[in-house]
Amino acid sequence: MRQVKTNRKEVKTMIEVARVYKVEKDENALKAFVDIKVADAVLIKGVRVMAKKDGGLFAAMPSQLAGDGKYYDTVKFLTPEAKNELQEVVLAAYEA
């Protein structure tokens, strides 16, 4: 059996914030737009920092309106570790 070498990076080194644009309206659930770089190879624009109804913040992926009138994420993370790291990195950059 042949072994295949992979150059996979740890999740923590893959996600980096490129830009944060804060929205200055207190009554709005939208708090900021964030652009992130993944593995210095992909730029994801339009990640949103949103306020939860019960307090706290979360990062929402860019989405697109479909023909059925619903919004669907255009970016999906394939592992929970990558999604958690994105949340941590984006929220830390927003709060800095």
pLDDT in single tens digits along all 96 residues of the chain: 555 555 554 555 678 999 999 987 767 889 999 999 988 899 999 999 999 888 889 999 999 999 999 999 998 888 888 888 889 999 999 998
Domain-by-domain residue ranges, the chain? 11-86
Residues 6+ apart with CB under 8 A from 24: none
Given a contact cutoff of 8 angstroms between Cβ atoms, the answer to whether 59 and 75 are in contact is no
Q: Are 63 and 72 in contact (CB under 8 A)?
A: yes
Taking the C-alpha atoms of residue 78 and residue 22, their distance in angstroms, rounded to an integer, is: 28
For the full predicted model, state whether its pTM sits above 0.85: no
Architecture per CATH, domain 11-86, reads as 2-Layer Sandwich (3.30)
